[in-house]
Each structure stands twice: as C-alpha cells, then as structure tokens.
C-alpha cells in the first residue's frame, strides 16, 4: 500500500522522532494545514497564531521579514512563538531556504541574530549546492539541537518558470534525501510523485505543498495556486501551506477552518482504513 493511502497515525509508528510527533498531532487535531504567517509586525504574527493555533499542525515563519527593534525583541518573539507551539500543539517551520555551502549554512542555522536551530522544529534548504548542504545542516541538527529537528528539501516550487523541472534536478534532490534519511524528513513539493516515480519509500518522508488558495489562481509575481482537494487528494501531498488565503482574509480564523476542513476531508477520502 502506498504511504499516501495510509493514515497519518499508522505512518507515525515507524517514523523518526520529528515525524512521529508531527503525524501524531495531525491525527489528534485533525489537521493537515500549515499556516504561513507572512506579516512583518511581530505582535500581529503572535496574535493571529494564538487564534488559528488550534486549527493548524504547523506554523511557517520567515524570520528575516519581521521588523524587530532589537536582538532582545527577536529573543522575546521566538520565546513567545515556542510558548504558543506548546499551548496549541503545533510545530514551527522556519522557511529559511538555505542555499549555500555546508560550512556557511551551519553558521546561518545556529548563529547570527536568529539562532534558528534553537526554536524551529523544521527548516528547509535548496538542493542545488549538493549533499554538503544536507550534511552541514545535519551536523548542527544532530549534534547541537536539544530536541528533534527535521530538514525539508525543496524538490519543486510553486512559482511559474521555476527550474526544478529541468533535467535531473528532482532525481538528484531525491537521492540526497534518500542518502540522509536521519536528517531529511521530507520535501517541499507539489505532490508525492517525486518519490513514487522511482521507489516505494514515500512513507519515510512528509510532503508539504505551498501555492494553495481557495479564492485566487495566482499573484502578480508568478505564484500559482491549487485547491486543498487537488493537492491532498490528487497529488497525494500530506500538508497544505496557506499564506495570504488566510492571513489577508477578513476573518482569518473562519477561513483557516475552511482550509482545515477541506484539507482534512481530502485526506480522509484518500485514506484506506
């Protein structure tokens, strides 16, 4: 049976610690929704997270777009975010999209002013620098993090004209993940085909898909949107990532519930008991 017809709960059984925690809370909260809170005002971000927290399995941040007044303000923000993740039981995903040689990304991951490894359960990286980006980040994850951490590789992107469809890019990205399953827990991808087209180990990974919106088809800069039904039901992804569809809505909590319900219904339909 392919992984994506199995329940999240059954996939949790043999999963690594970070996926075990994630699959478990998804099943418990009945949600496969990740909200991307791309505001720049830190208090606005914390406010909306407190409200939509019960409806999501994950909150995605871009820490470097937030207007902080000081390094102390960054510390206070990440502490509050961590407290909210415990209060509402969701994981924090810093969408850092690392893209440099292993040695440099280690500094970017643990250091600077953001200290991402300390507070983000999950982060992501582009694969084009080659396997060194995975081993570099992995060393910090496995040796320095106090709790389990996970890395997603960007195998595909949602934007028009992106280069992930060129040549062997996806296959090489997949190979990097297969070679480092203790570090790579999944993919940013449009569905699970990147794995299923060349093997049956899709069970070992989680698939997260951005570019999801119920009202719009795209934006002025090439973003391309699909529906939760298409992404979860047809493309067999595991988690929908929704930004502006929720955060720009008049009533973000009510709209988040719509996405949660649509994503969960699509999951239940495709799942064989």
Answer yes or no: is 72 a known binding residue.
no
Spot the catalytic one: 97, 172, 201, 235.
Answer: 97
Work out whether 238 is an interface residue with ligand S5P (CB under 6 A).
no
Instruction: Judge contact between 109 and 83, C-beta under 8 A.
Output: no
Q: Which residue has the tokens 């600077």?
A: 112
Q: Which two tokens stand for residue 197?
A: 């087209």
What are residue 60's DSSP bridge partners? 36, 93
Q: Is 200 a catalytic residue?
A: no
- Name the segment binding ligand S5P (CB under 6 A); options: 17-25, 133-141, 172-180, 235-243: 235-243
Compute the distance between CA of residue 3 and CA of residue 49 in angstroms, rounded to an integer.
30
Buried-exposed string 227-247: b where 16+ CB fall within 10 A, e elsewhere: bbbbbbbebbbbbbbbbebbb
Compute the distance between CA of residue 97 and CA of residue 127 in angstroms, rounded to an integer.
10
The H or E element that residue 52 is part of is helix 42-52
Work out whether 186 is an interface residue with ligand S5P (CB under 6 A).
no
Work out whether 157 is an interface residue with ligand S5P (CB under 6 A).
yes
Site size for ligand S5P, by CB under 6 A? 17
Q: Is 97 a catalytic residue?
A: yes
- Reduced to 3 states, what is the DSSP secondary structure of residue 104? helix
Instruction: Judge contact between 239 and 249, C-beta under 8 A.
Output: no
Work out whether 244 is an interface residue with ligand S5P (CB under 6 A).
yes
In angstroms, what is the minimal distance from the CB of 152 to ligand S5P?
A: 9
In angstroms, what is the minimal distance from the CB of 205 to ligand S5P?
A: 16
Q: Is 29 a catalytic residue?
A: no
N- to C-terminal Cα separation, the chain? 11
Answer yes or no: is 103 a known binding residue.
no
Among positions 150, 245, 252, 263, the unique one binding ligand S5P when judged by CB under 6 A: 245
In angstroms, what is the minimal distance from the CB of 160 to ligand S5P?
A: 11
How many residues does the structure list for the chain? 273
Instruction: Judge contact between 94 and 59, C-beta under 8 A.
Output: no
CA 151, distance to chain mean position in Å, is 9
In angstroms, what is the minimal distance from the CB of 144 to ligand S5P?
A: 24
In angstroms, what is the minimal distance from the CB of 5 to ligand S5P?
A: 25
Work out whether 210 is an interface residue with ligand S5P (CB under 6 A).
yes
Answer yes or no: is 269 a known binding residue.
no
Work out whether 237 is an interface residue with ligand S5P (CB under 6 A).
no
> 10 Å Cβ neighbour count for 272?
9
Considering only residues 96 to 155 of the shown chain, the ones binding ligand S5P according to CB under 6 A are none
Among positions 36, 123, 173, 202, the unique one binding ligand S5P when judged by CB under 6 A: 36
Catalytic residues: 95, 97, 100
Q: Which residues are annotated as a binding site for substrate?
A: 38, 60, 158, 223, 243-244
Q: Which residues in this chain contact ligand S5P in the complex, by CB under 6 A?
A: 36, 38, 62, 95, 157-159, 188, 210-211, 213, 223, 241-245
């Amino acid at each position: 049976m392919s992984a994506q017809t199995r329940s999240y709960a059954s996939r949790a059984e043999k999963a690594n610690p970070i996926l075990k925690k994630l699959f478990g809370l998804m099943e418990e909260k009945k949600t496969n929704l990740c909200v991307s809170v791309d505001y720049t005002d830190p208090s606005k971000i914390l406010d909306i997270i407190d409200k939509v927290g019960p409806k999501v399995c994950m909150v995605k941040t871009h820490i470097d777009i937030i207007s902080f007044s000081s390094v102390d303000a960054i510390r206070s923000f990440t502490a509050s975010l961590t407290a909210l993740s415990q209060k509402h039981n969701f994981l924090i995903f810093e969408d850092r999209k690392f893209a440099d040689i292993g040695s440099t990304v280690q500094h970017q991951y643990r250091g600077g002013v953001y200290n991402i490894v300390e507070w983000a359960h999950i982060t992501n990286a582009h694969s084009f620098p080659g396997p060194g980006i995975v081993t570099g980040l992995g060393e910090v994850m496995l040796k320095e993090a106090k709790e389990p951490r996970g890395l997603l590789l960007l195998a595909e992107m949602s934007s028009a004209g992106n280069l992930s469809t060129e040549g062997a890019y996806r296959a090489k990205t997949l190979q990097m993940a297969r070679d480092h399953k203790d570090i790579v827990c999944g993919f940013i991808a449009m569905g699970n085909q990147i794995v299923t087209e060349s093997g049956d180990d899709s069970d070992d990974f989680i698939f997260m898909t951005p570019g999801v919106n119920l009202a719009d088809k795209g934006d002025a800069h090439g973003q391309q949107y699909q529906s939760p039904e298409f992404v979860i039901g047809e493309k067999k992804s595991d988690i929908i990532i929704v930004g502006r569809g929720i955060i720009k809505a008049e009533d973000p909590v009510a709209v988040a519930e719509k996405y949660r319900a649509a994503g969960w219904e699509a999951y239940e339909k495709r799942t064989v008991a």
